[in-house]
Amino acid sequence: MALPLRRWWKRTFGSNSCAALLNAACCRDGRAAAVATVSVLPRGRFLSTTSSRNCGSLSRCDVRLLRPAPRACRYSAVHSDAKLKDPFSLAQKDLKNLYDDIKKELLVSTAELKSLCDYYFDGKGKAFRPMIVVLMARACNIHSNRDSDLLPGQRAIALVSEMIHTASLVHDDVIDGADTRRGKTTINEAWGERKAILVGDFILSAASVALARIGNNAVVTVLAQVIEDLVRGEFMQLGSKENENERFKHYLEKTFKKTASLIANSCKAVSILVNPDPEVHEVAYQYGRNVGIAFQLVDDVLDFTSCANRLGKPSAADLKLGLATGPVLFACRQFPELHAMIMRRFSLNEDVDRAWRYVLQSDGVEQTKYLAQRYCQEAIRHISKLHPSAEREALIRLTELVLTRDT
């Protein structure tokens, strides 16, 4: 019988390493960072790891027990509070012309390059990242005793975040050899890999120009970190860890760099423009980080539970690419046969089908969902430190939408 997640962590990594493992995703190549990660313990208490020291040495992180979180910060409250606001409705006004404005940033005279640049900016995307950025900006503005309306620089960050995200998708499709994206043919499939790489580079360059126009060096530095993290995360995805404990830490750190860093640093950037307080910047950053990791964990679950026409890409896509995500890593506890498959990146005949069956027979999917819930709880804990506002409540509501989405 499978162990509950917290018991599995304790038996496998020890009580201190349990918190440190979750913390790994925010550590950046040994640089100092203030971090806090939570795992639920019996009687509703939290195990928190907080450190401003070198995160590259996880064993040095201080661990302490905190009092139970306030009722409003608990995940269960997300379901019962009828007053929580719809994030899509609140952000709609600021996102109305988002893709038109992005196309203006990508204005070129060459017809083919214009077609390539506009291909994914067709208004059919979820605009998930810009929505979070807009809501965080408004919440921080109200917290700073200002009008909630966006500053021009804050909206520019929302545009830049979507441009960086889309450029990374174009490059990812080339690396993965993907032929579909968002239910349509990929750029590399339609125009070839060379042109896809070039258009991804061009979108990144246009995003950099838009970022420079904001005129804030701190914001430029924060968002430049995103591009570095994306590259490092992609390199991490190309490798595997032989040690099981290191493998899960590697997976979470890769998840942060490839997915959550953009959300975390974009949220931090909009807070910098309105408030000089580093604690406010940390609140924004930690909310984005935790929601971003939860979002990717749910995405990894959907790769096993959602059919291709709902997800917009073939199911078991990660297994076919040789990637071991959360459900697979958890399933290893019940089916040790998966370890050898992970190391050879599911390259033998029947590896993908066998791994698929093992995951569905295990509780790997449920354990990954549980882990995503823990990250959302931590996101709620951080955002609840801001002054009350409709936007803050919408960001709390957003955590539920992340956990319950099916596409």
pLDDT band at 125 (very low <50, low <70, confident <90, very high): confident
Residues β-bridged to residue 49: 37, 63
Confidence label for 330 from pLDDT (cuts 50, 70 and 90): very high
Q: What is the mean pLDDT of the chain?
A: 81
* Domain-wise residue ranges, the chain: 5-68, 75-404
Residue 336 burial (10 A CB sphere; 0-12, 13-18, 19+)? exposed
Tokens, residue 125: 């995307």
Domain with residues 75-404, CATH architecture: Orthogonal Bundle (1.10)
Q: How many CB atoms lie within 10 A of CB 83?
A: 7
Across 350-355, average pLDDT: 94
Phi, psi of 223 (to 5 degrees): -80, -25
Q: Please give the Cα distance from 70 to 285 (Å, whole number).
A: 21
pLDDT in tens, 283-298: 999 999 999 999 999 9
Residue 276 Cα distances to 197, 213, 218, 265, 272, angstroms: 38, 20, 11, 16, 6
pLDDT digits (tens, 9 = 90+) for 305-316: 886 445 555 567
Phi, psi angles (nearest 5°) of residue 52:
-110, 10
Global pTM?
A: 0.80
